[in-house]
Amino acid sequence: MVEIIKKYKSSKYKGLMVDLDDTLITSNQVYDKAMKYTSSFVAQKFGLDKEAFYKLVQSKHEIIDHNFPTVHTRHSRILVYRMALDEMAINYDLGILPDIEDMYWEYFLNHVKVYPEVKDTLKKIRQAGVRIAIVSDGDLSLRIRKARKTGLTKLVDQIVASEEVIFEKPFSAIFTLTLSRLKLEPANCIMLGNNYKSDIRGAQLVGIRAGIFNPSTKSNLIGQDGTIVPDFTISRFSDILKELQIV
């Protein structure tokens, strides 16, 4: 511990900003399963073909995602299921919509996992006196629920949601709000995320050193062609300790 603190004093980094989905937790692996599970329930309830309804839900999800490209509405599931049910032209009680949404997120929260090394590494970072903020696109309530369910709320100092500043990453407001909450300057922080455009470009635009963690070729195509260059790349979460000059 003394050794860690000694090394930290020579480091200029006093804050870690970290993305939540697919950087700390395995979200992408679970979204689709949650959609399948929930679509199955709805299809069964209304006597619809399960596979066809699931495909319809997927297509509505793509529409919502594209129609609201920079605001947290794009993560809404209630809008997806409303569009899908409306297209089926069946009579349904509107009261079921929030229940479907709750079912989706309950499934997600019960199945999402923290990536290996994340918890131990976050503990070490805070032991070294570095403050940690989760910086995540979406509404604040769900950010906190995701972090709480995976045991992360106690391991970080702040959770900042794009809902608080309207626009999602890479817009700079979420990063500047995080800096003010951490009471730190851009030069004293590092950002770690899995998305070139949102996490890397966004942080770099406000002068924060930014690194990629374990990029998913599926979801983060923009910027992987070399148009966005991360300051560093790590494939093991604990490698962030070196970047923070803790070890």
Is the CB of residue 159 less than 8 Å from the CB of residue 134?
Answer: yes
Select the span of 12-20, 41-49, 61-69, 73-81 touching Mg ion (CB under 5 A): 12-20
Least distance between Mg ion and beta carbon 55 (Å): 25
Q: How many residues bind Mg ion (CB under 5 A)?
A: 4
Residue given tokens 């070196």 in the structure block: 242
Select the span of 96-104, 193-201, 202-210, 230-238 touching Mg ion (CB under 5 A): 193-201
Residue among 191, 177, 154, 193 at smallest CA distance from 16? 191
Q: Is 137 in the site for Mg ion (CB under 5 A)?
A: no
Q: Where are the alpha helices (DSSP H) in 68-95?
A: 78-87
Instruction: Select the residue interacting with Mg ion from 39, 76, 194, 204 (CB under 5 A).
Output: 194
168: DSSP letter: P
- Closer to Mg ion at the Cβ: 85 or 192? 192
State the Cα–Cα distance between residues 38 and 101, nearest whole angstrom: 8
Handedness of CA 244, 182, 119, 160 (dihedral sign): negative
- Closer to Mg ion at the Cβ: 150 or 194? 194
- Closer to Mg ion at the Cβ: 39 or 194? 194
- Closer to Mg ion at the Cβ: 82 or 169? 169
Least distance between Mg ion and beta carbon 31 (Å): 12
85-90 contacts, C-beta under 8 A, 24 or more apart: 85/42, 85/46, 87/56, 87/60, 88/46, 88/48, 88/53, 88/56, 90/46
Binders of Mg ion among residues 21 to 60 (CB under 5 A) are 21-22
- Closer to Mg ion at the Cβ: 16 or 56? 16
Q: φ, ψ for residue 235 (rounded to 5)? A: -110, -15
Instruction: Select the residue interacting with Mg ion from 8, 18, 19, 168 (CB under 5 A).
Output: 19
Select the span of 44-52, 82-90, 139-147, 190-198 touching Mg ion (CB under 5 A): 190-198
Handedness of CA 113, 116, 122, 127 (dihedral sign): positive
Least distance between Mg ion and beta carbon 195 (Å): 5
Least distance between Mg ion and beta carbon 214 (Å): 10
Residue among 185, 184, 202 at smallest CA distance from 193? 202
State the Cα–Cα distance between residues 167 and 161, nearest whole angstrom: 10
Least distance between Mg ion and beta carbon 26 (Å): 11
Binders of Mg ion among residues 219 to 238 (CB under 5 A) are none
Residue given tokens 């689709």 in the structure block: 32
- Closer to Mg ion at the Cβ: 85 or 142? 142
Summarize as ranges the residues that interact with Mg ion (CB under 5 A). Answer: 19, 21-22, 194
